[in-house]
């Protein structure tokens, strides 16, 4: 068993030979954990599809919708810090189940609130949902950190991004189908549904997957009968040895945490603008309906290329840069800035759609690198949750402000120049992490 030194001076163990049956059992674990997190994203991005329909029914302004969107991310930002530490005590499985229960209840309540149409109620419910979903990422990372070795974390970050974007693909395809009506399995005609079904159906999916997770998922390989799989790895051995105060001081005083957090905030601002507002932007500015081919193609391609970017950047950082995230992130930020500069000069619906797709590729590539992978590199073991919590606090606050800002105005409506904001600052992600 050989070892090398990663960023921060921490020892990283070389790739290990896994015991018989481990891969299959990890795959089962990964499937239910990943699918639950996917369902979280269906319950999160459903509002982007319902955005215009809600405004039309209740006469909500774009600013009002921005308030609803922002409430989720403000609560999510706070929850990431609080629940990241709480997850260490609860365990990843319990944290995920708490988050699932919360988002299921909130999405059902949000759909039911459509019968009342009160703005403040939508804001409150979305805020509670944001806090509940903030259990998701820490729980997801905690479970899988126990099942994956240190040398797999870049690839793990890519798969993490894939599960995120699978949820976005699902809701971007399911949402328009529910609103327009469709034939299920070629046999049953499902009539056009009210937008509230965009909250009921994902909640039902999340509930089903949560039950599967409760039955099959295990927090650690030991619980599944595999002992000492990663014995000797620092990230696995120090998980119960760290003093919380020492952890906090170490992480908060680490300049790379703050550089990473700032870069991650820029990524979040750009990414969230595309994710939350592109459906309404295409509807209102370019008169593209949700069930038209251009929207359906873009709705599929944005999360698809985002998944590809997440996976490719993770694998490249692991295998070509020896686990260093910064060089890969810096190059991707440069590509993103150039893409946005080009996008600012085009105006046609198809050209804008291509720009959205390209920005999604770059923004999600850096999102995965600066989220789970770099945070684990800096923190290790128990400390991984705090740097990730700090970075997510910055990232999610930027998302919330972006949702609120963009909800208040359309900037040069023929061209999405709003994408400029935040992207340029991302080049600061070149810290050596």
pLDDT per residue as tens digits for the range 326-385: 777 778 888 878 877 877 777 788 888 888 888 888 877 776 666 554 555 554 444 444
pLDDT score at 421: 46
Beta-ladder partners of 4:
12
CA distances from 61 to 67, 156, 245 (A): 10, 40, 45
> In this predicted model, which residue has the larger pLDDT, 305 or 374?
305
CA distance 36 to 25: 17
- Cα–Cα distance between 120 and 118 in angstroms, integer? 6
Instruction: Please tell me the distance from the alpha carbon of residue 343 to that of residue 339, in angstroms, as a whole number.
Output: 6
Instruction: Return the pLDDT at 427.
Output: 43
Q: How confident is the model at residue 18 (pLDDT cuts 50, 70, 90)?
A: confident
> What global pTM score does this model have?
0.73
Q: Residue with structure tokens 């990230």?
A: 235
- 3-state secondary structure (DSSP) of residue 311: helix
Summarize pLDDT for 211-260 with one digit per residue, the tens.
Answer: 999 999 999 888 988 877 766 565 554 444 445 565 566 556 666 666 66
Q: 5 forms bridges with which residues in the sheet?
A: 11
Query: How far is Cα 347 from Cα 355, in angstroms, rounded to an integer?
Result: 10
Q: Do residues 346 and 352 touch, judged by C-beta distance below 8 A? A: yes
Quick one: pLDDT at residue 187? 79
Residues across the chain? 433
Q: How confident is the model at residue 277 (pLDDT cuts 50, 70, 90)?
A: confident
Q: What average pLDDT does this structure show over 2-26?
A: 61
- Residue 410's alpha-carbon distances to 121, 191, 302, 355, 415, in angstroms, are 26, 33, 21, 17, 10
> Which residues pair with residue 183 across a beta bridge?
189
Most distant CA atoms of the chain, gap in Å: 64
CATH 1.20.1250.20 fits 21-223+232-430, yes or no: yes
Give pLDDT tens digits for 77-107. Answer: 888 778 877 888 889 999 999 999 999 999 9
- In angstroms, rounded to a whole number, what is the distance separating the alpha carbons of residues 92 and 86? 10
What pLDDT, on a 0 to 100 scale, did the predictor assign at position 203?
A: 97
- pLDDT value at 189 more than 80: yes
Q: Is the pLDDT of residue 423 over 60?
A: no
For the stretch 146-167, pLDDT in tens is 887 766 766 666 676 677 778 8
Q: Where are the domains of the chain?
A: 21-223+232-430
Instruction: Flag whether pLDDT at 7 surpasses 50.
Output: no
pLDDT, position 180: 87
Please state, in angstroms and rounded to a whole number, the distance separating the CA atoms of residues 350 and 184. 30
User: Is the predicted pLDDT of residue 38 greater than 70, yes or no?
Assistant: yes
Q: How many whole angstroms separate alpha carbon 120 and alpha carbon 123?
A: 5
Res 252: pLDDT: 64
CA neighbor of 387 nearest in space, from 399, 370, 363, 403? 370
Q: What is the mean pLDDT of residues 268-281?
A: 75
At 391 the pLDDT is 46
Residue 306 has pLDDT above 60, yes or no: yes
Average pLDDT over residues 277-298: 84
């Amino acid at each position: 068993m050989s070892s090398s030194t990663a960023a921060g001076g921490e020892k990283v163990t070389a790739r290990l030979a896994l015991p018989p049956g481990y891969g299959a059992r990890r795959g089962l674990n990964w499937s239910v954990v990943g699918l639950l997190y996917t369902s979280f994203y269906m319950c999160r991005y459903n509002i982007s599809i319902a955005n215009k329909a809600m405004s039309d029914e209740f006469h909500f302004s774009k600013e009002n919708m921005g308030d609803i969107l922002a409430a989720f991310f403000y609560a999510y930002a706070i929850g990431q810090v609080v629940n990241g530490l709480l997850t260490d005590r609860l365990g990843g499985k319990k944290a995920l189940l708490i988050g699932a229960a919360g988002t299921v209840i909130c999405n059902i309540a949000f759909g039911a609130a459509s019968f009342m149409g009160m703005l403040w109620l939508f804001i409150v419910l979305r805020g509670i949902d944001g806090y509940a979903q903030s259990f998701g990422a820490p729980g997801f990372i905690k479970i899988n950190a126990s099942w994956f070795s240190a040398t797999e974390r870049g690839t793990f970050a890519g798969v993490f991004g894939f599960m995120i974007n699978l949820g976005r693909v699902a809701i971007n395809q399911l949402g328009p189908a529910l609103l327009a009506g469709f034939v299920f399995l070629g046999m049953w005609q499902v009539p056009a549904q009210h937008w509230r079904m965009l909250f009921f159906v994902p909640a039902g999916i999340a509930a089903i997957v949560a039950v599967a997770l409760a039955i099959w998922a295990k927090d650690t390989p030991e619980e599944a009968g595999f002992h000492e799989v990663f014995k000797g790895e620092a990230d696995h051995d120090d998980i119960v040895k760290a003093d919380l105060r020492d952890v906090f001081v170490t992480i908060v005083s680490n300049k790379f945490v703050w550089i990473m957090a700032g870069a991650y905030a820029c990524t979040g601002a750009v990414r969230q603008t595309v994710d939350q507002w592109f459906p309404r932007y295409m509807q209102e500015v370019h008169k593209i309906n949700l069930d038209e081919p251009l929207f359906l193609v873009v709705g599929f391609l944005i999360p698809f290329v985002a998944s590809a970017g997440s996976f490719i950047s993770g694998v490249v950082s692991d295998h070509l840069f020896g686990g260093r995230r910064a060089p890969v992130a810096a190059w991707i930020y440069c590509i993103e800035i150039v893409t946005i500069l080009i996008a600012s000069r085009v105006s046609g619906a198809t050209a804008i759609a291509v720009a959205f797709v390209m920005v999604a590729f770059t923004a999600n590539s850096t999102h995965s690198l600066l989220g789970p992978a770099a945070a684990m590199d800096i923190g290790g073991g128990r400390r991984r949750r705090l740097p990730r919590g700090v970075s997510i606090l910055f990232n999610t606050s930027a998302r919330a402000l972006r949702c609120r800002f963009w909800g208040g105005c359309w900037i040069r409506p023929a061209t999405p120049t709003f994408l400029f904001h935040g992207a340029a600052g991302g080049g600061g992600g070149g810290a050596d992490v």
